[in-house]
Amino acid sequence: MTELTQTLIFGALVGGVYALMATGLTLTFGVMRIVNMAQGAFLILSAYLCYSLWSHFGIDPIACAFIVTAPMGLLGAVLYKLVIERVQRIDHGLTIVATFSLALIAEAVVALVWGPNQASTKPHYFNASFHIGSLVIPRAQLYACLLAVGVTVALQLVVRRTWLGYAITAASENVEGARLIGVEPARVGLWIFAIASASTAFGGAALSFLYEFTPDTQDVWIAITLSVVILGGLGSIPGAFAAGLLLGITEALTSTYVSVRWATAVPTLMILIVLTVRPQGLFTRMTRQDVVA
Amino acid sequence: MKHHRPKVRPALAVALAAAAAVTVLSACGSSSSNSSSNSKAPLKIGMSLPLTGPVADVSKSGYEGYQLWASKDNANGGMLGRKVKLDVLDDGFDPNQSGSNYTRLISQNKVDLLLGTFSSLLNAPDSAIAARQGMLYVEPSGGAPTLFARGFKNLFFAQPGTSLTLPDQFVAYIASLPAGQRPTTAAYVTQDDPSASPAVAVFKKKLEALGVKTLYDQTYDPSTSNFDTIAASVAHAAPQLVLQGAVAGDGAQFARSLQKLSFSPKTLFQINSPADATYASAIGGAANAEGIFTALAWSPEAKYPGNAEFVAAYEKAFGHAPSEDAANSYTAGQVLAAAVKAVGRIDQKALAAWLHSHTVSTIVGPMKWDATGVPEGSLLLAQWQSGALRILAPKSAATTTKIVAPKPPWGT
């Protein structure tokens, strides 16, 4: 029983990390229908920025996340105006190629600036744990999971309680209808890209103290974050959080009770099942597609 | 209308025949010696290295080892009176890219000689390409048994032992312990890797033969980044000995996961990772590394000819101590140079034949190979002690007689 409880704890904590990493992609993919292949590269860039702040100034990586948010948001906005918006006008489908190119450029720039060596931040809690009886709760994972909860709640509040949130919802459900009520989808797109990029600051900070990373670590994370978004349902921020938890727990249970080797296949298998049985995602309702532009 | 066959003027015919003869002769010559056509041009040595990607840190120091060897060789006059020039391509640790790079080096860049890359994953296809093209292939890494089961006559491994002999010294150490001190239970975790997996299988077989009961045995995918659940399962099984077939950063990541659980086995052996320059730092400092065992191909303190000079020159050139990977690539260069200097020409078959029948003096000791390119030796048993790796066995290379056992708890 202890082993099962411990496995569930590990799974839930890792799932929270997955949800945190996927937050930005949920917005761009879910609302704008743009598969932002550069999301993983932005995560790694944020991780390296946090690493630099930690190694040069000794700032805790979690505090670094709040510092890195603004430049990452600005970067997202600039890239949207310079690249995404223009490509979108030509052919929406080309955005995936454009973001993939951005990912490659970002990886090369990161490698040039920080070098190819593995890096990680090591705050005092990176390998420490809380012990409750025979159960262990790793502090680093717990803090990352709490960050995920915080980011999810904050974004959900923005979507549900602010004019920007209403505009995002309107633009995602019916572009022409949104225009009729004065919402300009291009401007909303700019905000979504900026918020999505800014949110990678938190994912990157968590990544920096949880794992060793190199410039090309983005490959691993883009696969996981896409899995989370598809499982959770396009555009659903709470859905992405729930999907992250489900994915983490399923991976942990597979690793412990089936085989470690099978654990890495779990995201792919789950996507296959969900796309077959419930293509709209596990945590969203099917909507009329004919009114979505 | 009558068509006349154009006449070829005698002088032009003679010139064409002479040109054809020269072309044929030079083509014949090039099959055995590229150097004859341009004897003072630099001797191009091609290699594809994972300078970017997940093992870029390991490869960087390996590349530095190659650079140092080339500059030292050039300072001594080069090979065959020609300066050595490295032709290096990056493959990002992608076997497909690595393979196409070696093909390009041979067919387009027309390199005179090849040197190998890092990991069995990359060396397996690359050595096959070299074999198809009849090129000598001396590799600094890639000790998986499968590489030597293909019967290539041109492949030479520039480390003193392979994956199959890697466990020898550690198993001998365990066997030497009194029954009361010998671990009775073990857990094995290994990356699905052509070099690490067979080594761990040999460990398990030999330790089980000594009566060490297996409590946990799992293989993880190379893309695995989160080791918490694996570590939790290991901790739950509570073995006295934990053995990990790590390849690169996965060793530090697994150790970090064990730390989070406060599970410190009495004996911890990891392949490869503990020799990385960043290992101690990655797991939270030298105190956490204390008592961890590994196998090494090379030691900076070994008294073999040229080793002390290599260490000093490397530190002077790059400002930091050489890693095992740097030493391995330097050794590969030494092996290649010894063959070329002895044979006296670039003749790939003759170079391979010479290496099969001679012993080469290197910084990892005298090296000799069997017919498949397997070195006839074994690796060193090392342990982290007081912030550095110390050699425990064999006795001829040992740098200490002290053994830290059991492994102290993390962070003490």
pLDDT of A287 reads: 54
Of A214, A256, A261, the CB nearest to B220: A261
Q: Which residues in chain B are closer than 8 Å to A126, comparing Cβ atoms?
A: 256, 284
Topology of the domain comprising B43-159+302-367: Rossmann fold (3.40.50)
Of B51, B224, B260, the CB nearest to A264: B224
pLDDT of B224 reads: 85
Nearest CA in chain A to B55: A117
Of B56, B224, B282, the CB nearest to A120: B282
Contact B225 A220 (CB under 8 A): yes
- Ramachandran category for residue A174: left, alpha or beta (phi over 0 → left; psi -120 to 50 → alpha): beta
Contact A116 B259 (CB under 8 A): no
Walking along chain B (412 residues) 10 residues at a time, the average pLDDT comes out as 41 48 42 49 95 80 96 94 95 92 96 94 95 96 90 94 90 93 95 91 96 95 86 92 93 93 94 88 92 93 90 95 92 97 96 96 93 90 94 87 93 70
Of A117, A127, A141, the CB nearest to B278: A117
Residue B52, helix vs strand vs coil: coil
Of B56, B230, B252, the CB nearest to A214: B56
Residue B302, helix vs strand vs coil: coil
Nearest CA in chain A to B223: A220
Nearest CA in chain A to B53: A216
pLDDT of B163 reads: 85
Surface-to-core class of residue B38, CB atoms within 10 Å of its CB (0-12 exposed, 13-18 middle, 19+ buried):
exposed
Q: Which amino acid is at B167?
A: P
Contact A14 B233 (CB under 8 A): no
Tell me if A257 is assigned to some domain: yes
Of A11, A220, A251, the CB nearest to B223: A220
CA distance readout (Å), A138 to A122, A206, A243, B308: 14, 13, 21, 44
Tell me if A214 is assigned to some domain: yes
Of B226, B253, B260, the CB nearest to A129: B260
DSSP letter for A81, please.
I
Domain that holds residue A165: 2-120+139-291
Quick one: which of B189, B261, B256, B268 has its CA closest to A255? B189
pLDDT of A286 reads: 53
pLDDT of A36 reads: 87
- Taking one residue from A and the other from B, the number of pairs with CB-CB distance under 8 angstroms is 110
Interface test with B, best of A7, A112, A137, A212 (most B CBs within 10 A): A212
Contact A116 B220 (CB under 8 A): no
CA distance readout (Å), B255 to A105, A266, B234: 33, 24, 12
The encoded tokens of residue A223 equal 């696969």
Tell me if A126 is assigned to some domain: no
Q: Are B118 and B49 in contact (CB under 8 A)?
A: yes
Q: Which residues in chain B are closer than 8 Å to A128, comparing Cβ atoms?
A: 260
Q: Please write the tens of the pLDDT for every residue from B182-202.
A: 999 999 999 998 889 999 999
pLDDT of B145 reads: 87
Interface test with A, best of B91, B244, B256, B264 (most A CBs within 10 A): B256
Q: Are strands B380-385 and B293-296 parallel, antiparallel or unpaired?
A: antiparallel
Whether this model's ipTM surpasses 0.90 comes out as no
Q: Which residues in chain A are closer than 8 Å to B187, comparing Cβ atoms?
A: none
Domains contained in chain A, number? 1
Tell me if A29 is assigned to some domain: yes
Q: Which residues in chain A are closer than 8 Å to B259, comparing Cβ atoms?
A: 127
Query: How far apart are alpha carbons B79 and B96 in whole angstroms?
Result: 31
Q: Are A118 and A214 in contact (CB under 8 A)?
A: yes
Q: Are strands B84-90 and B43-49 parallel, antiparallel or unpaired?
A: parallel
Nearest CA in chain B to A3: B236
Q: Which residues in chain A are closer than 8 Å to B278, comparing Cβ atoms?
A: 117-118
Min distance B30 CA to chain A CA atoms (Å): 39
Return the exposure string of B89-113: e unless at least 16 CB atoms fall within 10 Å of the residue's CB, then b: bbbbbbbebbbbbbbebbeeeebbb
Of A2, A122, A252, the CB nearest to B229: A252
Contact A10 B52 (CB under 8 A): no
Tell me if A218 is assigned to some domain: yes
Contact A216 B92 (CB under 8 A): yes
pLDDT of B39 reads: 59
Write the class of the CATH domain B168-297+380-397. Answer: alpha beta
Domains of chain B, residue spans: 43-159+302-367, 168-297+380-397
Of B53, B189, B260, the CB nearest to A127: B260
Contact A129 B284 (CB under 8 A): no
Min distance B256 CA to chain A CA atoms (Å): 6
The encoded tokens of residue A199 equal 């949110």
Identify each DSSP E strand in chain A by its residue range.
129-132, 135-138
CATH number of the domain where residue A239 is located = 1.10.3470
Min distance A108 CA to chain B CA atoms (Å): 9
Q: Please write the tens of the pLDDT for every residue from B209-259.
A: 999 999 999 999 888 888 988 998 999 899 999 999 998 889 999 999 999
The tens-digit pLDDT sequence of chain A (293 residues) is 778 898 899 899 989 988 888 888 888 887 777 888 898 999 999 999 999 999 999 999 999 999 999 999 999 999 999 999 899 888 888 888 999 999 999 998 998 899 877 889 999 998 888 989 888 899 999 999 999 899 989 988 988 889 888 888 887 777 788 888 888 877 888 998 999 999 999 999 999 999 888 888 888 788 888 888 888 877 778 888 888 999 999 989 998 898 888 888 887 888 888 888 887 777 765 554 454 44
What are the residues of chain A with a beta carbon less than 8 Å away from any beta carbon of chain B?
2-3, 6-7, 10-11, 13-14, 111, 116-118, 120, 122, 126-129, 131, 136, 138, 140-141, 210-212, 214-217, 220, 251-252, 255-256, 259-261, 263-264
Q: Which residues in chain B are closer than 8 Å to A141, comparing Cβ atoms?
A: 228, 260
Q: Which residues in chain B are closer than 8 Å to A255, comparing Cβ atoms?
A: 229-230, 233
